[in-house]
Amino acid sequence: ETGVTQTPRHLVMGMTNKKSLKCEQHLGHNAMYWYKQSAKKPLELMFVYSLEERVENNSVPSRFSPECPNSSHLFLHLHTLQPEDSALYLCASSQEGGQPEKLFFGSGTQLSVL
Amino acid sequence: GQNIDQPTEMTATEGAIVQINCTYQTSGFNGLFWYQQHAGEAPTFLSYNVLDGLEEKGRFSSFLSRSKGYSYLLLKELQMKDSASYLCAVMDSNYQLIWGAGTKLIIKP
């Protein structure tokens, strides 16, 4: 069982659909993250949760809505997305205060918006 | 603004040595990370440098010069499985990670 599990691995959705991405970490970490990865671009931090409280929202459009019900689970709810939102969405976790504070990533959800 | 530069793509031969460079301009510095990402897989931690010098870990080594805003990842005795993207990231003064766009390394037999 891998440390950080993401489902689904692939998702195709229309612009009017509503879908959710799921992430689960089995590492006992206290921080979780959503990143967007587009081809040939740096990773973009979308949301950070620390101890289940959202601590950062990097000006992400409201069509992306995160949810962190507990320290092991993280969701990203998607609605009325645009084609430019097509990308790989990565979930990560870390133990705050770790030296160094390494990120552990899931394998991502490859999202295509038609 | 903050910026991380690394080559887009590099090609090397199996058994050889390759050096992947990373230069950065950030607001403060609290360490530099290298991650490896195979196609379709999760990025995985490779190394962390916070002090100047070379850190060696098996076939992989990472070097840092804070005065020059420069790091490199050195891969020795290249194997086909080393074909991957290598991501450089710097932690700034606010403990935010600034990422490079990654270097795709292609290993040829």
Question: How would residue A106 be classed by pLDDT, with cut points 50, 70 and 90?
Answer: very high
Q: So what's the pLDDT on residue A16? A: 87
- Of A40 and B16, the structure prediction assigns the larger pLDDT to B16
Q: So what's the pLDDT on residue A2? A: 66
Q: How far is B71 from chain A (nearest CA, A)?
A: 17
Q: So what's the pLDDT on residue A57? A: 78
Contacts of B100 in chain A (CB under 8 A): 42
- CA B108, CA A20: separation in Å to the nearest integer? 40
pLDDT at A1 over 80: no
pLDDT average, residue stretch A83-112: 93
Q: So what's the pLDDT on residue B34? A: 98
| A19, A94 contact by CB (below 8 A) | no
pLDDT at A65 over 80: yes
Contacts of B40 in chain A (CB under 8 A): 107
pLDDT at A88 over 80: yes
Cα-Cα end-to-end distance for chain A: 33
Q: CA B60 from chain center: how many Å?
A: 10
**Interface contact flag, B42 A4, Cβ < 8 Å:** yes
pLDDT average, residue stretch A63-90: 95
| A100, B50 contact by CB (below 8 A) | yes
Q: What is the pLDDT of residues B3-47, one digit of tens each?
A: 999 999 999 999 999 999 999 999 999 999 999 999 989 999 999
Omega before residue A8 within 30° of 0, cis: yes
| A92, A105 contact by CB (below 8 A) | yes
Q: So what's the pLDDT on residue A52? A: 79
- CA A35, CA A4: separation in Å to the nearest integer? 14
Q: So what's the pLDDT on residue B23? A: 98
Cα-Cα end-to-end distance for chain B: 40
- For an interface test with A, give the residue of B5, B29, B37 to mutate (most A CBs within 10 A): B37
Tell me, yes or no, if A97 comes closer than 8 A to chain B by beta carbon.
no
**Interface contact flag, A41 B43, Cβ < 8 Å:** no
- CA A75, CA A6: separation in Å to the nearest integer? 10
The overall average pLDDT reported for chain B is 96
Q: What is the pLDDT of residues B56-108, one digit of tens each?
A: 999 999 999 999 999 999 999 999 999 999 999 999 999 899 999 999 999 99
**Interface contact flag, B102 A100, Cβ < 8 Å:** no
DSSP state string for A6-47? EE-SEEEE-TT-EEEEEEEE-S--SEEEEEEE-TTS--EEEE
